[in-house]
C-alpha cells in the first residue's frame, strides 16, 4: 500500500506514519512543511517493517504549488506511479475568537490551511489515486467543532477553525459526489492530546484534551482500513466508527 500523509512530522500525522511504517510492504509518503526541520528528519528514525519505506516531500499548506510539485517529484525521482490512500491531516487552530472578535487575517489563514490546501492536495493527487489497483481513498481530518448540527452542544468560540473545517467537510463530501471511483470522507479524530489539541483545551480552561494519540490512531486506522464506498464515503465519521452530525 502507498500512503500520502500531510502534516506527518508531528501529532496525529506522525502517529499515522509510524503505524503504517510498522506494517510490512507499505510506502509512506510523509508530506511536511519543511523537510529540513528536526521533526521531519526524525521521521527517518521510525521503525519499519519488512519492505516498508519512507519518502519525505515538501508540501506547505499555504503554498498553491507545493502539492503539484510534490507529485512531479514523486513520479520523476521516486518512481511513484500510484497512491492508494491520501490522508489530509495538516491543519491549524491558532485562535478561538467569537464571530464578533474574529480577525480577517486569522479567518483567511485558517481557511487556506484547513480547507483550500486539502482541495489543492486532492487536485494534485487525483491522477495518482486513479491509478491505484485498490479502491483509492481520500480522507480528511476534520473535527466535531465543524458541526453545524451540534454547534450548541460545543459552546466554544471558534470563528476561524470551526468554519474552515466545516468548509473542509463540504469539499470532502463534494469530492465523494463528483468522483464515484473514490472513497472520500471527513473523519474526526476526537479531541486528541496533541500540541494543538492540548493548546485548544487550555484556551477554554481545561488541563488537556480528552483522548491520547494512541487511542485516536487505533480508531483512525481501523475506520480508514475498513472504509468502503457504500458504507463510508460521503459520511462524516468519528475515529470510533460512529457518525458525526454535519
pLDDT at 118 over 90: yes
Q: What is the pLDDT of residues 125-137, one digit of tens each?
A: 999 999 999 999 9
Model pLDDT, residue 50: 98
Left if phi > 0, otherwise alpha if psi is -120 to 50, otherwise beta: which for 234? left
Q: Name beta bridge partners: 238.
A: 188
Task: Over range 103-124, report the average pLDDT.
Answer: 99
- For residue 28, the SS3 value is strand
- Burial profile 96-109: b = 16 or more Cβ within 10 angstroms, e = fewer: beeeeebeeebbeb
pLDDT digits (tens, 9 = 90+) for 3-44: 999 999 999 999 999 999 999 999 999 999 999 999 999 999
How is domain 2-238 classified at the CATH fold level?
Answer: Rossmann fold (3.40.50)
CA distance 33 to 9: 9
Q: Cβ–Cβ contacts within 10 Å for residue 69, how many?
A: 14
Interval 150-179 mean pLDDT: 95
Domain boundaries, the chain: 2-238
Please compute the mean of the pLDDT values over residues 173-199 and round it to a whole number. Answer: 90
pTM score, whole prediction: 0.95
Query: What confidence score (pLDDT) does residue 79 get?
Result: 98
Q: pLDDT at residue 201 above 70?
A: no
Kindly list the catalytic residues: 161, 165
Cα–Cα distance, 101 to 7 (Å, whole number) = 28
Amino acid at each position: 500500500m502507498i500512503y500520502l500523509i500531510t502534516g506527518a512530522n508531528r501529532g496525529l500525522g506522525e502517529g499515522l506514519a509510524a503505524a503504517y511504517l510498522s506494517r510490512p510492504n507499505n510506502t509512506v509518503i510523509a508530506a511536511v512543511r519543511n523537510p529540513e526541520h528536526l521533526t521531519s528528519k526524525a521521521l527517518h528514525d521510525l521503525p519499519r517493517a519488512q519492505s516498508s519505506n519512507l519518502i519525505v516531500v515538501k508540501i506547505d499548506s499555504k503554498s498553491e504549488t507545493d502539492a503539484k510539485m510534490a507529485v512531479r517529484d514523486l513520479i520523476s525521482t521516486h518512481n511513484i506511479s500510484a497512491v492508494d490512500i491520501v490522508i489530509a491531516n495538516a491543519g491549524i487552530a491558532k485562535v478561538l475568537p467569537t464571530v464578533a472578535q474574529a480577525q480577517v487575517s486569522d479567518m483567511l489563514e485558517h481557511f487556506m490551511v484547513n480547507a483550500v490546501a486539502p482541495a489543492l492536495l486532492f487536485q494534485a493527487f487525483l491522477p495518482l489515486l486513479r491509478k491505484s489497483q485498490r479502491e483509492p481513498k481520500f480522507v480528511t481530518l476534520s473535527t466535531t467543532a465543524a458541526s453545524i448540527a451540534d454547534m450548541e452542544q460545543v459552546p466554544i468560540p471558534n470563528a476561524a477553525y470551526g468554519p474552515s473545517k466545516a468548509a473542509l467537510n463540504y469539499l470532502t463530501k463534494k469530492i465523494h459526489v463528483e468522483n464515484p471511483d473514490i472513497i472520500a470522507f471527513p473523519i474526526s479524530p476526537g479531541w486528541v492530546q496533541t500540541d494543538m489539541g492540548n493548546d485548544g483545551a487550555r484556551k477554554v480552561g481545561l488541563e488537556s484534551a480528552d483522548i491520547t494519540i494512541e487511542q485516536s490512531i487505533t480508531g483512525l486506522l481501523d475506520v480508514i482500513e475498513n472504509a468502503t464506498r457504500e458504507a463510508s464515503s460521503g459520511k462524516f465519521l468519528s475515529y470510533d466508527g460512529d457518525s458525526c452530525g454535519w
